[in-house]
A and B are shown apart, each in its own frame.
Chain A
């Protein structure tokens, strides 16, 4: 059973991807996407009772598996080299040639005998990642079906490019399942590189000048990470004589042995998770259709990096490397939050918020206490669901109002009431208790309290985070005076059923997960801590309690739900109240936001958000942030030499 499920989770996307490419009929393509998605969801759920398990298949359809991956690996690197060649990027060519040389050396000159005991290993951490990739990833693919139809109609394409698009989207899910289940590090490396290639293809999908440029940037930055990972392989093999990730972690670095390869793996993780100074590839990725952003930001790609560091965290406990990862992560959390404050572009706010949250997860991995690791895992889960939701919301809004600027979303509630409310709900779940995201942040802060460098940055960052989210939610509900007639008889806007399916299930899912957080912790997260950490929380009265803190999840949810109902009742009552125009300090006219000024002339009164560009503008901060991050990275890699 385990072998079947694992095979389906990794291989089905590959098969479906090929079918999607070959059968160029829209209806059949949609059907394949739906069937693949639902199968992945079902298989990932069925896998839950079997974790932890190991699985070492020796052959795939009669061909030795290791040989298949070996060949695929070189093909993959050659494909990247090819793209480097046709995009005329010396950097990509150099990096892929370098990786080919390293891998030839490892595979043909270095390795003798079996590389690892177990090819695949699935504990609860992998399981959580599989669930995220399969469920959230599939929902995003579902929403992509109506989205891409609109997208291509808007672009007036003569020949649909959807086969390529869905090929890569579905392939991505398989690569993601592969990377989190792989235990043999050559397999891990193959899937790791495959996600790099997929993201390159997706970012460049629209083939505009800017899309191509950003895709190339994403490719070279991630190739740099891939190269770092590739270098780690021979170093580990030299020291330990195998490339089995679990055994590497269990050995723990003895007297500085193989700390360098682990530092290189952290470096690879930082590029993958777009930490400063590599943030530009993720920011550039927003030129792609929105489902791509949703996929990259929530359930795949960037989550590989944080997964990798959380995975190897037990190996660097009480190590200088762990300290630097904590500080580096906290710095990313702070810097990205500050940059998000200066943005009015909704997608960019989301992108910086992703970088920021990933920074916090890295900080948790670096702090490396049981509480911190728990917080990191919970953050991955909640962030995946809520960020996917928010991206899909922005995509839906963008197709409707033809803008992704927060300023243009003012009063969106009057035009798209349900989408606006779901977006507001997403924002609330991002920053407010009793929801899971804040529960994890609470854990992270309590865990970080003993690390003075990290905690100062985390405290500042969490205040900045609140600022950029709150104003966005407020803007969505801000009602231009003209909209008030609609308020009483608002009609729910029309959207494709698959869009509603994705939005509502993500929104409800995040809510349910929040209420069930204590049980999620007990059944999923606590076992994921493995033997390396003692589960830090106990469940009591529907809440989580540690020796130094307590968070009564369920009682708070009940009180919050009660408060919510009262407030909704107040809204119902207020609908019967007198609705007046906002105060403008002048005689009101019938026009919204216009008052009668001197000489009876109409004067328009309006205000924009504060973006504080003189402090938080990109031009002002980016250089310094990149420099500081570079210094910290040098400290990290240099510190272990």
Chain B
């Protein structure tokens, strides 16, 4: 029981701490790739702290509701992961957060927010089936949806689910808001939609969405880590390599249209998932 409380606290702390640090490291590495020095490692924390201190300004009071609900759902999903609950349930909980973020943008009538929100819905539509396939692949291999059982598995899942890991990579790229899939909003200042999805979130509410995003990043990294959960070293290697690849992809590709994204991600992701799932079905 005490153990569970520790896990809850660990989950709650992991989001902001790890998520923020990953974001800081990401900014430094991205800057180096582009021959810049980049901000200090803790810059994301300074940014969020500053935003939190600003005056609360809203275009619609329900934005506040959505920002809090986004953060809450994202945090709960990470906590549930730390409690080693059911993966599918954790994923659905995370989806609640993603939808509230969209909902907050939809409550504004600004076309930038509106189009950003619809693009975000398309992004969700693109990655959701892939993540579900990943979870189903894990179930077919380990016979369980529970993180606790998957962690008990003696063999790295990557060996049996390599194609699904690539499919997860697509999902990760969308979720980390990296090019070519950063249609709804992005970290860089080259957005034709101003800030898209988050245009009308400001001050403390924007800070909350940022922290929520950190939680989501942590959840997706945890999901990736399950692919090599048998050794800490393997896990670290897998995550670092994956994240570096994400940064490189982000830097070498241009943003693409939703039509391309939906077609490409569904076609490629579905093909990869199918091959891998058929493999698993055949092996059973």
Contact = CB atoms under 8 A, between A and B. Distances in A.
Interface of A: 410-411, 413, 431-433, 438, 442, 445-446, 449-450, 452, 455-456, 459-460, 462-464, 466-467, 470-471, 473-475, 477-481, 484, 487, 547-552, 556, 559, 563-564, 566-568, 570-571, 573-575, 577-585, 592-593, 605-607, 609-610, 615
A136 B64 CA distance: 35
24 contacts: A432-B95, A456-B270, A456-B274, A460-B129, A462-B128, A466-B128, A467-B121, A475-B106, A477-B60, A478-B106, A479-B107, A479-B108, A563-B72, A563-B76, A566-B72, A567-B65, A574-B58, A577-B57, A578-B58, A579-B58, A579-B59, A582-B59, A584-B111, A607-B111
A563 B68 contact: yes
Contacts, number: 212
A109 to B, nearest CB: 50
Given A446-B88, A578-B55, A583-B200, A479 B68 contact: no
B143 interface: yes
A342 B194 CA distance: 27
A467 B126 CA distance: 11
A477 B107 contact: yes
Given A445-B88, A583-B194, A474 B274 contact: no
B118 A610 contact: yes
Interface in B48-100: 55-69, 72-73, 76, 85-86, 88-89, 92-93, 95-96, 99
A486 to B, nearest CB: 11
Contacts of B128: 459, 462-463, 466
Contact of B121 (A471, A556, A583): A471
Contacts of B61: 487, 571, 574-575, 577, 579
B63 to A, nearest CB: 7
Contacts of B264: none
A477 B270 CA distance: 35
B111 A573 contact: no
B124 A467 contact: yes
Contact of A570 (B68, B194, B199): B68
Contacts of B112: 583-585
Contacts of B145: 446, 548-550
Contacts of B113: 582-583
A481 B115 CA distance: 17
Interface string B114-134: 110111011011001100110
B125 to A, nearest CB: 5
Given A470-B99, A570-B67, A585-B194, A551 B106 contact: no
A585 B111 CA distance: 10
B109 interface: yes
Interface class of chain B by DSSP: helix
Given A479-B107, A568-B65, A470 B102 contact: yes
Given A449-B136, A570-B64, A559 B76 contact: yes
A471 B89 contact: no
Contacts of B270: 456
Contacts of A455: 136
Contacts of B59: 479, 481, 579-583
Contacts of B67: 570
B110 A605 contact: yes
A478 B125 contact: no
B153 interface: no
A592 B109 CA distance: 9
B281 A452 contact: yes
A473 B104 CA distance: 10
B270 to A, nearest CB: 7
B103 A605 contact: no
Given A445-B132, A449-B140, A580-B57, A474 B107 contact: yes
In the A-B complex, the 3 residue pairs with the closest CB atoms: A474-B106, A582-B110, A574-B64
Given A567-B69, A606-B109, A610-B121, A548 B92 contact: no
Given A446-B139, A463-B124, A466-B99, 15 more contacts: A432-B92, A433-B92, A462-B128, A467-B124, A470-B103, A470-B121, A477-B106, A548-B143, A550-B146, A563-B68, A579-B57, A580-B59, A582-B59, A585-B112, A605-B111
B77 to A, nearest CB: 10
A480 B114 CA distance: 12
B12 to A, nearest CB: 12
B251 interface: no
Determine which residue in A442, A467, A470, A487 has the highest number of CB atoms from chain B within 10 A of its CB, and name it: A470
B163 to A, nearest CB: 14
Q: Which of A446, A487, A552, A592 has the most CB of B within 10 A?
A: A446
A570 B145 CA distance: 35
Interface string B198-211: 01100000000000
B93 A477 contact: no
B43 interface: no
A471 B118 contact: yes
A452 B55 CA distance: 52
B114 to A, nearest CB: 4
Contacts of A592: 109
A593 B103 contact: no
Given A477-B106, A577-B57, A570 B65 contact: yes
B36 to A, nearest CB: 28
A433 B98 CA distance: 13
A573 B194 CA distance: 27
Contacts of B144: 547-549
A487 B110 CA distance: 18
Nearest to B127: A463
Nearest to B56: A577
Contact of A478 (B99, B108, B132, B149): B108
A564 B68 CA distance: 9
Nearest to A593: B109
Nearest to B116: A607
A606 B115 CA distance: 10
A479 B85 contact: no
B225 interface: no
B69 A474 contact: no
Contacts of B194: 583, 585
Contacts of A564: 69
A438 B90 CA distance: 12
A459 B114 contact: no
Contact of A479 (B60, B95, B129, B136): B60
B69 A573 contact: no
B277 interface: yes
A292 to B, nearest CB: 31
B125 A464 contact: yes
B278 interface: yes
Nearest to A569: B68
A575 B58 CA distance: 9
A438 B73 CA distance: 15
A370 to B, nearest CB: 16
Nearest to B107: A477
A146 to B, nearest CB: 29
Contacts of B65: 567-568, 570-571
A514 to B, nearest CB: 14
A561 to B, nearest CB: 11
A605 B129 CA distance: 34
Nearest to A608: B114
A550 B86 contact: yes
